[in-house]
Structure 1
Amino acid sequence: MAELPDRQLMLASARAQLLEGATRIDCPGVPDLVVASWRRSVSRGVSPNELKSTYHPDLDVECRLVRCAKPVVEQLVEQIADVPACVVLTDDRARILVRRESSRWISRVFDRVYFAEGFGYAEDTVGTNGVGTVLEFGESVQIVGAEHFVDNLQTFACAGAPVRDPITGRIQGVLDISCLRDHSTPLMHSLVRTAAQSIERNLLHDRSQAQQALFDAYARVESRTREAVVAVGPRVVIANNAMQTLLVPGDQEALHDHIRFATQRHSTVDDAVELPSGARIRLRGSTVACGHDVAGMIGVVTLLSDQEAAPALPLPDPPRRERAESSSPAVRSAQATAARALEAGEPVLVIGEPGSGRCSLLADLATDRRPGLTVTRIEARTVQIEPREVARRLVAPARDTVHVLCDIDEIGDRAAQALVDAVSVQDGVPGLLGGTTSAAGGGDRQRLLTLFRQSVTVPPLRHRTADLPVLVRSILAELAPHRELRLSTDASRVLGRYRWPGNIRELHEVLATAVARRPVGVITAEDLPAYCQSVPRSALRQVDQVERDVIVEALRRAGGNRKAAAKALGLARSTLYRKIRQYGITD
């Protein structure tokens, strides 16, 4: 359908007014989204007389989005076979990943305007168009003829629709049909919207069974309530609009970590939780099973009034010295319970993974409460060698010392029995006592639990990633006092993606390595150990770790260019992509 001459003149007049600097444009027939796009194009310095498009040679044209979209694109090309047109798929940065044409001659026409694989069509470089404007607007659009901002594109018409990840809701790319202006019909807009929905269905089916199970459960819960609903899995978060507007971003991140931690311990929760901003919420959640595995947890969140929030997880009194404050509700709850136990003189056991800060929690609380109080660590091997001497120290009437039995699950049965017997003979533990464990243990080690009256659980670092920035600052201050050191954005992103099997202890080792490489200034991703740039799905053998580190180093030398890295390694690109997925190597 040809664009009417009168409409072309009206559009040309409106655009001319805008280019001349008019604050108000007399354009009653121009769509608001087009006017808004023109204004953005002007503010970003896009030239109306010259088409500029950047070529990107290193795009991943074998990515998941392309794999899920290809059959839909081929089918769409067949549907428009009678019209000289092309179908393109772009990524979320408007870079063209796939182009298919219904005729050969039309491909040469689009080549002249750089509408081809590898080129970018973002609005801030190309102006108003059916790709970049979709990403700016967030919905499908049809741009016809003179609605384009750049002169070279005004002979074309295009209809584009966003392709969203059906689980996260984020735009993954844009599907676009483009043709000459005279061949444009409203049917193009309908076709591209339907095809984009087909790609989204393919993306959903391409997810793991666990993620599909989590999404299905979330959809059922969300459809039955108007409250804030969130689904949290190991690597995915889904939230409705009510959830996204209920809490500030920092509180949302802390809540996600709290839910991941709760998922490992309970099948259902009904907790009052205090978040970093001071907001108090009620979290009602249940886990979602997928076979024998847990896919994640669905939570319904409501804000609590001051009266309702009274029994919420209480926080310890303000510390008397500077230290890294956690924003994790689970950590703050553990601190509060342990603080009350220490104040009451009750022995307290801290449960958590090695390196998660179990002993530090006790030490910080003890010295915060009572300056001058000494915290003494008693290692498991010491108990193994001299259990009776350790028992004598535990029952000594010293109220200025907290004895911490570290890793009681590593104490052998015979030593555990001897320690408990020796303590029992001397009528218990009158002094302050703490302990750490990653598991309750078996045999006679179970008797060690009788020494304690309270227990708290510290989440692993992977379930409290909101604490990473403050932990990093604290550790860097310890490693390099009085030095200017900070992380680059890329380095922070790498640390945020890593799973931290060694917890805070491993974070300390990683930063120590980085500081040795970059003693002053900005620590970059290249300064971090290679293994930090990998998030494998399962434990790696030593030979796999070596291969992973070699691949990461090759990608770093190639500046992230996978094609160049594959060539340097002597691998086929498909093999390199497979190994990147296998080792969970992040960009």
Structure 2
Amino acid sequence: MGDVLARRRLLTSALARLHDRPDVDLPGVPGHVVASWRRSLARGVDPAAVSNRHHPDLDLDSRLVRCARPVIDQLAEQIADAPVCVVLTDDRARLLVRLDTTVAIGRAADDNRFAEGFGYDEGAVGTNGVGTVLESGRSVHVVGAEHFVEPLQSYACAGAPVRDPVTGRIEGVLDVSCRVEHSSPILHSLVTSAAARIQDALLHDRDAGQQAVFDLYTRVDARSRRPVLAVGRRMALANTALQTLLDPGDLAALTDHARFRMVRGPAVDDRLDLPSGVRVRVRGTAVTAGSAVAGLVAVVSVLREAAVGRAVAVPQPRPAPDPRPEPEPTTAGTGPAWRAAWTAAAEALRAGTPLLVTGEPGSGRRRLLADLDGAVHGPGRVVEIGPADDPVARVRDAGPSPLVVLADLDRWPGVPAGLPGALRGARLAATAADGARSGPGLLAAFRRTVTVPPLRNRSADLPALVTAVLAELAPGRDVRLSADAQRTLARHGWPGNVAELRDALDAALRRRPVGVLQVGDLPASCQSAPPGSLRRVDRAERDAIVAALRETDGNRAAAAAVLGVARSTLYRKIAQYRITA
């Protein structure tokens, strides 16, 4: 007992000295504790209170939770004789699961807001067995007065990181907490072992497609010292050589491009200009599982550095130089797939080559043509004709040498009478849905095809797109997105592409015309990510749940009462619709 009291006095005295002199040496205090105390002090953590907040937007049915639950149950059974809480958090220190072995320890945890949905990062509650694990990247055992915040100094906690077994990234933290008098070094060993079992469960929780991508990636990486990238629909892997070769922005853009290309043919050999100015060559193979494309594995090499450097010579015939400057892609499109489409379309428009622009509805096909023609030939010379328009009259009234865009060519029933004659002297382009099969009478007029990537493959462009759309919708106004709202948009799948983004921001501006747009200002469709298209009745139910959560400031119990449903039903529906409101 004397040793325990002496230890507590030493730690209390050391922390008091640190408050007086942040640079003081603290002999006898573990290094990881001192480092955490200094971080807590620098971030202004209140040492007298637990000042964390609740996060209503957690995915309580995530892959991590599903893989961890059996391990958590087993760990709780192992230590059932001790009053402890077993906790799983996500990679932002937010509690996803808490399992108590006694009612008393659960009440104590509630008193300290150590409960589902609350955050326990160091910036909020100082040194602890969750936030300190995420800061240090390793397992820790924080006992008694090693906690920075006084209300937690009666407790001990042992935490270990749970890493993705493929990427090595920390996905969450497994923690066991109890009162100091019930603490034992064995808790640290138990939680570390349990975290390893969760990682093993994550390793085996892959579908056939993910496994096929991972298997090819490991083979290519093992036999090559070169940079290797692998992408699937829900995964991305980059070996150390690639991570050191490209900066994070370029790597994100390259990943987007790989996802865009993986469904467009069995082999890839592309030369790309990345946002930083680096030019790379990407050679790879699509991976299939059954009849479906599961991903792409590619080897990457640099052809030109970003600043000063010589491009690798690639022998090929070059056309005569065009004296006009090359039009730069719009600020809302810097990813390689968008840049490739822009460059190819610019070459066709300059040469007067009839151009077919394909892509998903709402992806920006018409905008690309209008912006490009304005940059090359000057604004106001684009005539857009739909399947229901009178093409002859529209072209006749357009003036000399317009760019005639046959919009939604795949929906045209045939070649309207008089159209070929009306198009003499006009420059020609068209848009069509990706993979559409239009009549040969119309397709025969085109000599080149460019594909615009969907918004889900342009994640690096999303912030710039948001800024550009807000500037168009609210010119001259001080309008911007909060960080949480930006993250919400980044998580959305955007089935309606840029057109859907524009509608979403327009709806948000109707709720908040100026200032910082919050998550609650976004339409309900942006705050959920259903796996497939929803029926009308499902959309109505989802919107009602989002409205109730907004009305109650994210309090799920209160929202369930407003809706007149059981709390368990509400939790199930939130998980079903992946609601983040």
Q: TM-score range by the shorter chain?
A: 0.7 to 0.9
Q: Structure 1 residue 18 and structure 2 residue 18: aligned?
A: yes
- Separation in 1 of the partners of 2:42 and 2:283? 47
Partners of 2:103 and 2:170 lie apart in 1 by: 31
Q: How big is each residue's C-alpha offset from its partner over 1:23-64, in whole Å with a ceiling of 9 and x where there is no partner?
A: 24152x54321221121233344566x453657596969543
Secondary structure at the counterpart of residue 388 of structure 2: helix
Corresponding residue of 2:552: 558
Matched with 1:142 is: 141
Structure 1 pair 90/341, CA: closer, same or farther in 2 (3 Å)?
closer
Indicate the residue corresponding to 2:407 in structure 1.
Answer: 406
Q: Secondary structure at the match of 1:361?
A: helix
- 1:132 is matched with 131
Contact 2:272/2:279 (CA < 8 Å) preserved in 1? yes
> Residue 327 of structure 1: CA displacement?
0.7
1:548 aligns with 2:542: yes
Tell me by how many angstroms 1:405 deviates.
1.9
Partner Cα distance (1:290, 1:355) in 2: 30
Give the counterpart letter for 2:345 in structure 1: A
Q: Distance in 2 between matches of 1:308 and 1:210?
A: 35
The match for 2:429 is 434
**Residue 308 in structure 1 maps to residue 312 in structure 2:** yes
What is the CA deviation profile of residues 101-134 of structure 1, one whole-angstrom value per residue up to 9, with x for unaligned ones? 66788x3896698485456544345433322311
Percent identity of equivalent pairs: 51
Alpha carbons 1:41, 1:123 under 8 Å: kept: yes
State the alpha-carbon separation in 2 of the partners of residues 123 and 271 from structure 1.
Answer: 44
Aligned with 1:536 (options 530, 540, 544): 530
2:366 to 347, 359, 363: 359
Structure 1 SS opposite 2:368: helix
CA separation of 1:120 and 1:276: change in aligned 2, threshold 3 A: closer
1:348 corresponds to which letter in structure 2? L
- In the alignment, the residues of structure 1 paired with residue 501 and residue 22 of structure 2 have an alpha-carbon distance, to the nearest angstrom, of 56
Which of 349, 354, 374 matches 1:347?
354
Task: Return the letter of the residue paired with 2:232.
Answer: G
Q: Which residue of 1 aligns with 2:469?
A: 475
Q: TM-score, normalised by structure 1?
A: 0.83
Cα displacement (A) at 1:334: 1.8
- Aligned-partner Cα distance in 2 for 1:360–1:429: 24
Quick one: structure 1 residues 392 and 357, their matched pair in 2 at CA, closer, same or farther if it must change by over 3 Å?
closer
Structure-2 separation of matches of 1:309 and 1:580:
55
Given that 1:129 and 1:143 are in contact with CA atoms closer than 8 Å, whether structure 2 keeps it comes out as yes
Q: CA deviation at 1:369?
A: 1.6
Question: How far 1:324 sits from its partner (Å)?
Answer: 4.2
Question: 1:379 is matched with which residue?
Answer: 386
Counterpart residue type for residue 465 of structure 1: S
Between the aligned partners of 2:482 and 2:178, the Cα distance in structure 1 is 44
Distance in structure 2 (CA, Å) of the matches to 1:486 and 1:153: 38
Q: For 1:381, give the aligned amino acid.
A: A
Distance in 1 (CA, whole Å) between partners of 2:191 and 2:502 is: 51
| Candidates 49, 52, 59, aligned match of 2:50 | 52
Aligned residue-pair number: 570
**What is the aligned partner in structure 2 of residue 276 from structure 1?**
275
Q: Secondary structure of 2:41's partner? A: helix
Residues 355 and 121 from structure 1, CA distance in 2 versus in 1: closer, same or farther, beyond 3 angstroms? closer
Match of 2:333 among 323, 326, 335: 326
Pair 35,508 (structure 1): closer, same or farther in 2 beyond 3 Å: closer
Is the CA contact 1:285–1:297 (under 8 Å) kept in the aligned structure 2? yes
Q: Which range moves more in the overlay, 280-289 or 300-309?
A: 300-309
Deviations 1:171-216 (A, max 9, x none): 3432223456677655433321110021223344455554455445
Structure 2 CA distance for partners of 1:578 and 1:293, relative to 1, 3 Å? farther
- Aligned-pair CA distance for 1:137: 1.0
Q: 1:502-544: per-residue Cα shift (whole Å, max 9, x none)?
A: 3223333333333334333333333333222232211222222
The CA deviation at 1:158 is 3.5
C-alpha displacement of 1:580 = 2.8
Name 1:507's counterpart in structure 2. Answer: 501
Q: Which whole-Å CA distance do the structure 2 matches of 1:2 and 1:86 have between them?
A: 27
Provide, for residues 287-336 of structure 1, a one-character-per-residue CA deviation record: whole Å limited to 9, x for no partner.
3323332233233333223322768999994549x954411212222222
Aligned-partner Cα distance in 1 for 2:59–2:503:
37
- The structural deviation recorded for 1:393 is 5.8
Please give the per-residue CA displacement for 1:414-463, whole angstroms capped at 9, x wherever unaligned: x36x568x55xx9x9554221222257557x1132221222211112222
Q: Which residue of 1 aligns with 2:307?
A: none
Q: Secondary structure at the match of 1:34?
A: helix
CA separation of 1:368/1:17 partners in 2, compared to 1, >3 Å: closer, same or farther?
same
Q: Equivalent residues in 2 for 1:77-156 (5 A)?
A: 77-80=76-79, 87-100=86-99, 107=105, 114=112, 117-118=115-116, 121-144=120-143, 147-150=146-149
**Structure 1 residue 546: Cα displacement:** 2.1
CA distance in 2, matches of 1:355, 1:508: 10
Asked if structure 2 preserves the Cα contact closer than 8 Å seen for 1:356 and 1:461, the reply is: yes
Cα distance change on mapping 1:328 and 1:407 into 2, 3 Å: same
- Residues 85 and 98, structure 2, Cα contact 8 Å, conserved in 1: yes
Asked whether the 8 Å contact 2:50–2:151 carries over to 1, the reply is no
Equivalent position SS for 1:128? coil
Cα distance in 2 for residues equivalent to 1:402 and 1:176? 64
Matched with 2:454 is 460
Q: What is aligned with 2:247?
A: 248
| 8 Å CA contact 2:85, 2:106 repeated in 1 | no
Q: CA deviation at 1:236?
A: 3.8
Alpha-carbon offset, residue 280 of structure 1: 1.2
- 1:409–1:439 contact (8 Å) kept in structure 2: no
Contact in 2 for aligned 1:129/1:158 (Cα 8 Å): yes
Letter in 2 for 1:278: G
Asked if 1:337 is matched to 2:337, the reply is: no
Task: Note if contact 1:158-1:177 (Cα within 8 Å) is conserved in structure 2.
Answer: yes
Q: CA deviation at 1:341?
A: 1.9
SS in structure 1 opposite 2:297?
A: strand
**Counterpart amino acid of residue 549 in structure 1:** D
Alpha-carbon spacing, 1:235–1:573, altered in 2? closer, same or farther (3 Å): farther
8 Å contact from structure 1 (residues 168, 236) kept in 2: no
Unaligned segments of structure 1, at least 5 residues: none
Does the CA contact (< 8 Å) of 1:51 and 1:113 recur in 2? no
Give the alignment's TM-score, normalised by structure 2. Answer: 0.83
What residue in structure 1 maps to residue 577 of structure 2? Answer: 583
